[in-house]
Amino acid sequence: MGNQLNDDFNLFNYDAGKFSFDANIIIDFFYNNYEKILEEIFLNKIYLSSLILTELKAYNLKTLNFKEVEITTSEGSEYFYLIGRKFHGLSVQDKHLITICKFNNYYCITNDNLVRNVCAKEGIKKIGTLVILDEAIRINLIKAIDAVTILDEMISNGMYLSKKLYNNFISKLKLH
Amino acid sequence: MEAKNFKEIIGNSIKNAIKSIGLKNEEVSKKLNITRQTLNNYINGSTLIDFEKLIQLSKIVNRDIDYFYRSNYEFSNYHFRSDTNIDNITKIKFEEKVRRYIEIEEINEVDNHPYLLEAILDKFDRKFIKEISLKIRNIWNISYDVPILNPIYVLEQNGIRIIQSGAVNPETSGFSVFNDKYGYFIFLNTDSTIERQFFTCVHELAHFIFNKNDYQADLKIENKKLKEDIANEFAGQFLIPTQALRKYLSEKNLMEIDFDEVIELKKYFHVSALCMAKRLWKEKLIDDSKYNRLRQKLEKEIGEKKEIDGLEKEKYPVNFRFNNLIKCAFQKNRISLSKIAELEDITLIEARNIVKEWAIN
């Protein structure tokens, strides 16, 4: 998952930010009925890749206020091609998400190790679930103890998080 | 990269994809709601197709988006060999699976140069079916007097890639393909019994050995019946060598062979009861009348999808090597979770469950 605790991000300072999610994070929040957190934090700032939406077709995203985004330029199309040549382990959806973030200056919201590494190399801002939960605590949307419950539920329902990162996050919560 | 080359790669892929699905440009342009001229411009590389149109096109021609972004020559350069008609959908599905197989090998930095049987065998004469079957066992370090518990695993260990999947045509138990750059691939229909899949993979191995010249584009296969008989003979010899058969009979003191003994033996050698009966007859361990009687009885009770005391499918996970390569790449952070879903052709939720199981185990 990469070290999300080092994500240099403070939503307070990025009110003008725009955010594009990978499908896994949306699944984590929707599957566990915590979509309200995403809605509250990212109100009117969510831009979803058209291909990510196809991965999410089993979910009713009506409650989530988002705009669908497509690669619209030939430069974007070529970048999609080049990023695939450079990083063979990315899926079509990953490349689409990265291209959209790169060309629109969106934050890429992902927990995936490889995608996060590529974002770092390509100069794309990135954040993950831990930062979202941290922010939810900061703006009093949830309590620190709720964050642990939410994280545990997400992990038991298929979210992958290394033990080390989990423990670091729990230790950090005690500071709140 | 020059923009022109990039457009040309996509243009060529569009052309090949339309051709492989058997559609006309006019039909495709109508479906895409564009003029024929616009489609021609995409194909000849003078205009780059919009991403949105590309997504639509990928659905029309049954290809993933990535297909259009690569030079497909080396992947399309397949030489199929099959005893039954391979429908277009199975062919396209197979080509995609081969490409994914090569892709995951490259991601894992596995040497994927073609394994050539010519390099290990000095004779391909069909007079030497038995000798060649033993020689391959010898080269692959398999003793002559033991059963092969999983021939799929053995072939994959020795450079022949196996792809297991369902087929549209239920009569297709399997087929094989040779690609100049990547070597041998065998397709096995997972709807068949495990015993049938085991036999088919060795049968296809025989075609690589004895009928290499059949792996040419659009070639009409001559002497089909004879070639099939030879491949079946080879598979029988390879899976049930004389030494192994006689050793088992002697150790178990099986003098009189009838139905129950055939079942006992087929379970030992991991082959179908029919295959077992035929080998016993070929070895003259049962006479013509007994063989015919056993065959009639067995043919009533078994088929492509049914076997007496059959091997359990749950104990033989499909695409074992391919799946292991995926696991290995993910654990080394070389592929994303979404890539697992793409390579395995499963949903993201299914991919997440797989990763969860890996974490537990």
pTM score, whole prediction: 0.88
pLDDT over threshold 90, residue A54: no
- Report the pLDDT averaged over residues A106-118: 94
The set of residues, in sequence order, having a beta carbon less than 8 Å from that of B238 and lying 6+ positions away, is B133, B136, B137, B148, B151, B202, B205, B206
Averaged pLDDT score across all residues of chain B: 88
Cross-chain CB nearest to B356 (options A23, A27, A158): A158
Name the residue among A68, A128, A104, A63 with its Cα closest to residue B337. Answer: A128
* Residue A105 CA neighbour count, 13 Å, CB half: 3
- Report the pLDDT averaged over residues A46-61: 88
**Is B269 within 8 Å of B309 (Cβ atoms)?**
no
pLDDT over threshold 80, residue B215: no
> Which pLDDT does position B21 carry in this prediction?
85
> Which pLDDT does position B198 carry in this prediction?
98
What would the pLDDT profile of A63-84 be if each residue is shown by its tens digit?
788 999 999 999 999 999 999 9
* Domains with residue ranges and CATH for chain A: 4-173 (3.40.50.1010)
Best probe of the B interface among A92, A96, A165, by most B CBs < 10 A, is: A92
Three-state secondary-structure class, residue B337 = helix
Q: Token pair of A91, please?
A: 């899926």
Best probe of the A interface among B339, B344, B354, B356, by most A CBs < 10 A, is: B339
Cross-chain CB nearest to B348 (options A24, A80, A113): A24
> Which pLDDT does position A146 carry in this prediction?
92
Which residue of chain B comes nearest to A115, CA vs CA?
Answer: B336
For A99, other C-beta atoms within 10 Å of its C-beta total 27
What would the pLDDT profile of B116-170 be if each residue is shown by its tens digit?
787 777 666 767 899 999 999 999 999 999 999 999 999 999 999 999 998 777 7
Look-up of token digits 């005690």: A174
- Report the pLDDT averaged over residues B276-284: 96
Are A50 and B329 a contacting pair at CB < 8 A? Answer: no
ipTM attached to this prediction: 0.91
Q: Which of A13-22, B75-84, B346-355 ranks highest by mean pLDDT? A: B346-355
DSSP line for A6-57: G----GGGGTT--EEE-HHHHHHHHHTT-HHHHHHHTTT-EEEEHHHHHHTT
> Which pLDDT does position B219 carry in this prediction?
56
pLDDT over threshold 90, residue A105: yes
Cα angle B33, B75, B87; round to 5: 65
What would the pLDDT profile of B62-111 be if each residue is shown by its tens digit?
888 988 988 765 556 667 776 667 777 777 788 889 889 999 999 999 98
- Return residues 105-144 of A near B (CB < 8 Å): 112-115, 117
What would the pLDDT profile of B286-325 be if each residue is shown by its tens digit?
999 999 999 999 988 876 678 989 999 999 999 999 999 9
- Give A-chain residues touching B65 at CB under 8 angstroms: 51, 92
- Give B-chain residues touching A121 at CB under 8 angstroms: none
For B284, other C-beta atoms within 10 Å of its C-beta total 8
pLDDT over threshold 70, residue B331: yes
For residue A69, the cross-strand partners are: A49
- How distant is the Cα of A162 from the closest Cα of chain B, in angstroms? 9
- Give A-chain residues touching B107 at CB under 8 angstroms: 88-89
- Own/partner long-range contacts of B218-226 (Cβ < 8 Å, ≥24 apart): B219/B79, B221/B81, B224/B83
Cα distance between residue B176 and residue B205, in whole Å:
8
> Which pLDDT does position A141 carry in this prediction?
94
